[in-house]
Structure 1
Amino acid sequence: MLTIKQITEEPERVLRGLEKKNFKNAKEALDQVIDANERRKEAQKQLDNNLAEVNALSKTIGQMMKEGKKDEATSIREQVSSMKEGNKALENAMNSALQEMNELLYNIPNIPHESVPEGVGADDNKVERTGGKNPQLAEGALPHWELAKKYDLIDFELGVKIAGAGFPVYKGKGARLQRSLINFFLDEARDAGYLEIEPPYVVNAASGYGTGQLPDKEGQMYHATADDLYLIPTAEVPVTNIYRDVIVDEKDLPIKNCAYSACFRREAGSYGKDVRGLNRLHQFNKVEIVRIDKPEHSYTSLNEMIEYVEGLVTKLGLPYRILRLCGGDMGFTSALTFDFEVYSAAQERWLEVSSVSNFESYQANRLMCRYRNDDKKTELCHTLNGSALALPRIVAALLENNQTPEGIKIPEVLVPYCGFDIID
């Protein structure tokens, strides 16, 4: 969440940023935060003064008792007792104002980096660069859901029987292709210096608040109410929460982690032709990269992550483009996001396969993720993450773009993992 220091010391910058993200009633929300903080500070000031006076009076009581001034001591003791009752009320007022301020802050998004374009939606995103060459498919080329049926790779109807729409069943070479991609992505991440983590697939509410999924995306998360646990929408959540309430040494930054996980998203309200097949699922596999860094180096880390993801799609031979997201299309917690899209030749459309984001100190402030600098002072870290990569649309593009009359060719880098070079 935003820090109170940002809001009070840079009010115009914060307000402009929230307006760029199209956050409604931004001025009113910031005024409410400032008001709650002022009430908290005033209660804190009165409480500190009273505590100091109570301490002074308590010392006086002991001295009077030694001097035999029992009546005076009793009177002061009664005064101290009354003040302590008042202090309880002040403490309650301070905590109530603090809770109100934090609840307000939880519902205010991060402000965007100055390089974020103006805009309200996907049509306003800026294409940074493109790579690869769109394949020319033969007439009658099939979309991936038809290819999956033809070669018995994915059974969407069986998934509906077992769980419901959006939960496909991968079979035979379809399952092996999934596994090969996971292992390929993890090996590439390891070679790039990322420490592999195998996280839980469920998190508690504190973890959801730490990375910003709660309360913003509560309706999009599967909630196991009996245990108050949430199925993870991405490995970002458990991996980043490793560093909740942690102070790391500056020399250990940047921290680089990667993790494979299944991901679960309710995707409420997602219907239509654009969600057919693997285009939008409730459960899917993904390898995530996460970095914890110091502020002055975090945008260098972001660029390194973008280049890393670009290397993955290039090795897979997929045509791609990189988008700088506009303010209205960015995530709630992000300061700057770049989306990767690969071209689906049979569908003749671009498919998002990765988002790489810098959250600056927004998540770290929620997490209390800090680092200790050379002066032994603690500062908030910056957190970053990216999909490297999400499998469903990668699989869709691989199947569609590599189809030939003889079968579906497997990219050369995956053959050692798959154990076959063609699906026929």
Structure 2
Amino acid sequence: MTETTTRTAPDSGTEVTLPVHSDLLRLATAGSVDDGKSTLVGRLLHDTKSVLADQLDAVHRASADRGLATPDLSLLVDGLRAEREQGITIDVAYRYFATPKRTFVLADTPGHVQYTRNTVTGASTAQLAVLLVDARKGVIEQTRRHAAVLALLGVPQLVLAVNKIDMVGFDEAVFTRIAAEFTEHARALGYRDDTVVTIPVSALLGDNVVERSANTPWYSGPSLLEHLESVPVAPDPHDAPFRMPVQYVIRPRTAEYPDYRGYAGQVAAGVVAEGDEVVVLPAGLRTRVSKVDSPDGARPRAAAGHSVTLLLADDVDISRGDLIAAADAPPRVTDELDATVCWLAEKPLNPGAKVLVKHGTRTVQAIVTELSARFDEQQLSSVDGPDSLQLNEIGRVRLRTAEPLPIDDYAASRRTGSFLVIDPADGTTLAAGLIGVPLAPLAAASE
């Protein structure tokens, strides 16, 4: 029997059972409109035999109805009606597939500039990003914007897929020019050469996607799938200090469990075990873990990504939104947030704006006290003291929250080092914020 593992799907929150191989790679795609992201993902799914027969039949029928001679593999990914009708990706589409060497969770993100917020969502948990460019167009403004966002989010590995290489006659000179230009830009963003790989591909025809292509004899590197199967990735941060935002307080109040009081949530970082000393924040109350419970019964320990219920030795006042953390390495508690944000709303951000900040499972009122800088992702420069932040702009802000929050730097813990800015009037998401991520390294890289 094949060993399996359970993972939480980012889009639905449901649990998905996947076969266990050597490890798991979380990756995201990005790129401009019509660069072929969905076709590339569809090709990966198709050529790794990760598509059900009825799905493939539906794609063949839909492609034939459109008068296409070959199946449009992008239909395997673009699930919304508007996406199919317009031929663009609007939402983040998550796909799960596996090869004998590795299991993959892939986020296909939109290319339209107005959907940059979805790119932030898809890349926020990625260990690797595949950034596509059209071989006929090369590196364009949206390519540089996405690369800056990926660098800001700390995505450690980049693949530049020079797609539609068949449309330029598999020209080595075209590929070499694009690869050199992008590598230089990636260096300026802080990427080392060994973390950036450039591959010539044709998503439509399959060249260098799963198998190496005879049409590019001048290219000696791996196919895209070969690279995805072999690229070294950092393991989940189990050695990071333990963090778990409380999602729900469980009190069955039944005859079988008259005194049961558990605190349910998903472990955001580190490992927790029975007997561990923990602190409940922001109150600062200390206690010990008396039991780690799960739907399958008690377990000795739980690591990042596991959803569990903790029972504590002392009867302490805990509610949804509190954070249970390692007592010997707690996060700092503050009502002042200095952070870098990616502004995702049509209306601009101005100093003095009243907003909501969602950090973990806690949502608090806040005010924007300062806009200190704006990042120009095209020139890799920082503009001090902007009057506002516009849609898709990245900037440095300071917020004061109505209640103190237990926070980490994003580099130490993505989950507790990030937050969302929400419009209190209608609940829409205004920005994604990263704590302790300065603009200076990105801007200084161009000097």
TM over 0.5: no
**Bigger strand share:** 2
Q: Which structure is larger by alpha-carbon Rg, 1 or 2?
A: 1
Please report the TM-score for the alignment, with normalisation by the length of structure 2. 0.23
Higher relative contact order structure (alpha carbons within 8 Å, sequence separation ≥ 6): 1
Higher helix share: 1
